[in-house]
Structure 1
C-alpha cells in the first residue's frame, strides 16, 4: 500500500498558506469598503442643499435612494456568477473604478435626472465589489475567525457612512454640494489600482480540504442543482430574510434620521451631522466587535449562536428606536440612536458568516449576490421611499384628522414644517422601522435550529468533491 498521508498533509498545508497575505488583503478590502459607503452615503448628509437647489420632494428623494439600490441589486446576481468563475481581483478593479467615476458624475449633476443616472451607475460598480470582496476574505482567513473578520470588514460600512455624514455638510457649507462628490470620488480611482495587489486564493482555501480537491471543485463549478439546493437551504434563507427585514429598518434610518434631526428637532445641521456620524461609528465599533467576538466564541460549541445572538439583539434595539423618536432632549436622542444602532449592528458579521458556513466555495459569490438582491429588494429599496411617502401623507392636516392620524398625534408623532416646504411627519414615517426589526429578530431566532446540520452537509459535499482526473496515458505506436 502506498502511504499518501504526507501528500494529504502537504495539500492541506498549501490551503493554509493561502492566508499568508491575509492582513494585506484585509487592509486593502477594508479601505475599498470604507470608500464604498462613503461614496454611497455622502448624498444623505447634503440632502438639504441638493433638495433646495434641484427642488426635490420627499417622495423624489426616497425614490433617488431606491434607484441606486435597484441598480445595485439587479446587477449583483450577474457579478456573483462572474465572481465564481473568473479572476476576482480584476472584477474588483473594474467595480471600484466604475463606482468612483459615478460619484464624480454625481457632482457634475445639474438636474434630478442627472442624479438618477449617476446613482444608477454607482449601483453597478458597488454591486461588483459587494459580492466578491467577502469571498476573498473568507478564503484567506480561518473558518473559525469568520464572524470576527466579517464584522471587522463590515465596520467600514458604518465608518464610511459616519465619515460621509460628518464630512458632507462641512464641504457643502464651504464649497457647495458638488464639491463633496469630487472629494470622495477621486480617491476611489486610486484605490481601484490596489486591487491588483490582492491575492487570488483557490476558492475554499480556508476549509482545511486538500488543494487538489478544492481545485477540482472550483473547476467543476456550480451546477443547476446547486442553485436549486441553495434556495431550499434553510440556514441561508432564514439568514437572508432576517437581514432583509433588518436592512429595511437600518436603510430607512440612515436616509431619514438626518432629516429628522434637521427638520423635526431643528438641530443645527453641521453639529447634528457630526454628532450622528460619531454615534453611528461608535455604535458600529461596539456592536460589530461584540457580535463578531461573542458569536465566534459561542459558536465553537454551539453554532446556533450565530442566529440567536443576532435575533435577540435585533429585538432589543426596538425600545431604543422608540425613545430616539419621542424624546426631546438632544443628548438623550443621540444616546438612544447609539444604543439602537449598536444592537442592530451586532448581526452583521454573524449573518454573513452563516452564509459562508453553509454554502460551498464555488457558489459563494453567487450566494452573496442573491442575498444582496433579496435583502435590498425586500428591504431598503422600499423603506426610504415608503418612509418619505408616509412623512408627506401624515404631514397633510386632512390625513392627521383621520383615526390613525389622531393615534399618531396622541403618541407625539405630529407634523412639522420647514420654511419653503409643505408640512411633513418624519416621526410617523420612521415608525415603520419598528415592525421590521421585530420581524427580523423573530426570523433569525427561528433559523437557529437548522444551522449545525447544514454546516456539516456543506463540509461533506466539499470533502466528497472528486480529485482531478489524471491525464490520459498515451500508447506508443
Structure 2
C-alpha cells in the first residue's frame, strides 16, 4: 500500500495530522452528533415524566412502569457492543442515521400506543435504536479532532446524556401537563426526526474521511471498514491498559449512577423535601455531574498535551476527589453545607469519563474505535449504571439508605487501583495500535 504525505484540507479520504488546525466542518459534525445524543436521552427519559399519567389512564402497577424504563436499559446493555462492531464494518455515519431514525420512529410509536403491551414493544425498539449511538457517535466526533482534545470532546459528548435526561424530563412534564402525555412523547420524536434529516443532509462519510485526524504514524489511508476486517477484534481485550480503562471507568460510573438514582429518595427521606423539590435539587446534581465531565475533560487535555500519561493521573485524581468528598458529605448532618459537599463530590464522580474516552482512543486501532467505545459503554453500563443503583438498593433494604450511600463511594478505590495498574502498563499498551496498523497494512 502506498503512503502519501497528508495535510489539512487535502482530497477526500486523506487524514489530517494532529498539528493541523481544525476547520469549521468538524464543529458542525460535533454539534449535530451531540444534538442527536440529546435527542437520544430526551426520548429515553421523557417517559419518567409521564408515569403519573400512564398510571392513572391505564391503571399500571409500579413494576409495569419500571419495566418501561428497564427494557430500554436492558436492550442498550445487550446490543451496544455487537451493534458497535457492525457499525465499524458497515459505516459509522450511515449507522448513526439509521439508529436515530429507529429510536425517533419508535418514540412516535410510543405516543400512539393503545395499551401497555404496545408501549413496552415500542420502548424495546427505542432501546435498540439507542444502543450503540453513544459509542459510534463519539468515534465519529473524535475522528475529526486532534488527539490532544479528545478528553475534552469525550467528556462533553458523554455529558450530553445528563443534559438530555434533564431536558427530556423537564420539557416532557411541561408538555404533558399542558397537552397530554402522548404529545410529550410525540414532541421528542419530532425533535429526533428533524435532526435526522439535518444530519443526513450535512454529514457524510466522504466528508468525515476528508477531515479525519489521527496521530502521526497511525493514520490508515484505506477505508475504516476494510481495515476493520483486517484487525482482529480480540485486540480490544488483549491490551492490559485498555482493560484497566474499561474496569476503572465502569467502577467510577458506579458512584455516579448511585447519585442519579438515589439522590431524590435520599433528599425526601433525610432532608424531608417534597418529591417535586427533591426532583429539582436532584436535577442540579445531574447537571453537576455533566458539568464535571466537561470540565475534567478540558483540564485533562490541557495538562496532558505534552505528557499523555497525565490523562491517567487526572482520572485518578477525579475518582479520589469524588470518593473523599462524598464520604465526608454523607457523614455530615443534614444541612445546606452537606448538600454543597455532596454536590462537589458529584461534580467529580464521572470526571474520569473524558480521560477514559481519550485513553481508549489511544489504545485501540482507528478502524475498531467504535467497537472500543462500545466495550467501554458496556463496562459503564454493567459495572456502573446497572450495578450501582441495584447494589445500593439491596444494601439499603438491610442497612438503610444512608448507610448504603456512605459505603458506595468506596467503590472509587477499585477504580483508582485499576487506573494505576493501567498507567503502569501504558508503554506496552501504546505500542499495540501501531503494531496492528502495520499488520493491517501488510
**TM bucket normalised to smaller:** 0.7 to 0.9
Identify the range of structure 1 (455-464 vs 186-195) with the bigger mean alpha-carbon deviation.
Answer: 455-464
Q: Paired residue for 1:31, among 35, 41, 47?
A: 35
Q: Is contact 1:358-1:458 (8 Å) kept? A: yes
**Following the alignment from structure 2 to structure 1, what is the Cα–Cα distance between the partners of residues 116 and 259?**
23
1:239 maps to which residue?
245
> Deviations 1:371-420 (Å, cap 9, x if unpaired)?
222332333223334444444x34xxxxxxxxxx4xxxxxxx4xxxxxxx
1:130 maps to which residue?
134
**Following the alignment from structure 1 to structure 2, what is the Cα–Cα distance between the partners of residues 143 and 319?**
31
**Following the alignment from structure 1 to structure 2, what is the Cα–Cα distance between the partners of residues 325 and 172?**
35
Give runs of aligned pairs for residues 195-214 of structure 1, distance below 5 A.
195-196=199-200, 197-200=202-205, 201-202=208-209, 205-208=212-215, 213-214=220-221
Q: Is contact 1:147-1:293 (8 Å) kept? A: yes
1:8 maps to which residue?
5
TM-score by length of 2: 0.83
Q: Is contact 2:93-2:140 (8 Å) kept? A: no
Q: Paired residue for 1:440, among 415, 425, 430?
A: 415
1:366 maps to which residue?
371
2:228 maps to which residue?
221
> Deviations 1:256-308 (Å, cap 9, x if unpaired)?
322333455442333333333234324422x2233222221232333222222
Aligned residue for 1:39, secondary structure, equals helix
- What 5-or-longer segments of structure 2 have no aligned partner? none
> Deviations 1:4-33 (Å, cap 9, x if unpaired)?
99x525699541289542011011011111
C-alpha change, 1:236 and 1:211, in structure 2 (3 Å) is closer
- Higher-Rg structure is 1
Q: Paired residue for 2:125, among 121, 124, 136?
A: 121
C-alpha change, 1:211 and 1:434, in structure 2 (3 Å) is closer
C-alpha change, 1:279 and 1:387, in structure 2 (3 Å) is closer
Q: Is contact 1:90-1:195 (8 Å) kept? A: no
1:462 maps to which residue?
437
Q: CA shift at 1:113, angstroms?
A: 5.1
Q: Paired residue for 1:142, among 142, 146, 150?
A: 146
Q: CA shift at 1:50, angstroms?
A: 5.6
2:349 maps to which residue?
344
Aligned residue for 1:202, secondary structure, equals helix
Q: Is contact 1:62-1:388 (8 Å) kept? A: no
Q: Paired residue for 1:261, among 244, 267, 278?
A: 267
1:397 maps to which residue?
none
C-alpha change, 1:161 and 1:317, in structure 2 (3 Å) is same
In the alignment, does 2:75 pair up with 1:71? yes
Q: Is contact 1:165-1:277 (8 Å) kept? A: no
TM-score by length of 1: 0.78
Aligned residue for 2:232, secondary structure, equals helix
When the two chains are superposed, the root-mean-square deviation of aligned CA atoms in Å is 3.4
C-alpha change, 1:18 and 1:313, in structure 2 (3 Å) is closer
